[in-house]
Amino acid sequence: MTLQLPNLEHADRYTGLFVVDFGEQACVGYTAAEVAMLLESERYADAKVYRIYNAAPDGTMELVGVPAARFQQEAGLLFYRRDMDAAREDFEHLRRLADQTPLPTRAQLLLGVLPADVRLRYVVGLAYPAEVDADVARWMLDHDVSAGDYADGGAGRLATVRATAQIVDTAQLHAAPFRQSRPREEVLASVGRPVQRIA
């Protein structure tokens, strides 16, 4: 089955956003958080979701199917340090960078202290919706972010850090304006509009 998608101006700006197929119609341009809102509603729980993996200037789009369960998960990048001062510098650097050049999604930045028997006790974490993992990784590469004496990530590692670390500071990081999620009422009211946000 081929999805009937609307013609988009500046289609490349939609890369990383989502298409939701409601059965009778597919709508383009949802954020991950907006898709989660739709899937949480009883009416749209069975909708099919596709990530816009790539889009060309002529409007051609490459789509990748995303399982609904993915929208209930959170992933993270974690940067570990031996001392608190270095970890605090990483935290402040990431916060300033995200203020100057917003991430492609909302995220939470955290600074934590792990148990005393851990060699790299101080951790800076960036937590975000799992389905935009590739976009956050691209943002980190594009901005040449280097933090921590050691780095890792993933949903499991983030959950472990949250369970074992004493969190001493957090910051909410906002998405770039074009990728900021709308309130639930607006998202539900706009179902049926072929293009959810105009580039």
Residue 85 lies in a domain: yes
Residue 4 lies in a domain: no
State the Cα–Cα distance between residues 174 and 127, nearest whole angstrom.
12
Shared-domain flag, residues 51 and 93:
no
Q: Which domain holds residue 160?
A: 72-178
The phi, psi pair for 91, rounded to 5°, reads -60, -50
Q: Kindly give, in sequence order, each residue whose CB lies less than 8 Å from that of residue 101, ignoring residues fewer than 6 positions away.
A: 139, 143
Residue 199 lies in a domain: no
Shared-domain flag, residues 104 and 32:
no
Helix (H) or strand (E) holding 88, with range, is: helix 84-100
Shared-domain flag, residues 67 and 109:
no
Residue 195 lies in a domain: no
Q: Across the strands, what pairs with 113? A: 122, 166
- The answer to whether 140 touches 64, Cβ cutoff 8 Å, is no
Shared-domain flag, residues 57 and 35:
yes
Shared-domain flag, residues 89 and 16:
no
CATH code of residue 127: 3.30.70.260
Shared-domain flag, residues 77 and 151:
yes
Indicate the number of domains in the chain.
2
Shared-domain flag, residues 80 and 50:
no
Shared-domain flag, residues 78 and 67:
no
Q: In what order do the strands lie in the sheet with 61-66?
A: 26-30, 18-21, 48-55, 61-66
Predicted local confidence at residue 2, as pLDDT: 66
Q: Strands, E, within 33-121: which ranges?
A: 48-55, 61-66, 74-81, 107-113
Predicted local confidence at residue 9, as pLDDT: 80
Shared-domain flag, residues 51 and 90:
no
Residue 102 lies in a domain: yes
- The answer to whether 47 touches 39, Cβ cutoff 8 Å, is yes
Shared-domain flag, residues 133 and 162:
yes
Shared-domain flag, residues 48 and 58:
yes
Residue 143 lies in a domain: yes
pTM for the full model? 0.79
Q: What confidence tens digit (pLDDT) does each residue in 167-199 have?
A: 999 999 998 888 889 999 999 999 989 999 886
Q: Which positions of the chain have pLDDT values less than 50?
A: none
Residue 18 lies in a domain: yes
Shared-domain flag, residues 82 and 22:
no
Exposed, middle or buried: residue 130 (CB in 10 Å: 0-12, 13-18, 19+)?
Answer: buried
Residue 197 lies in a domain: no
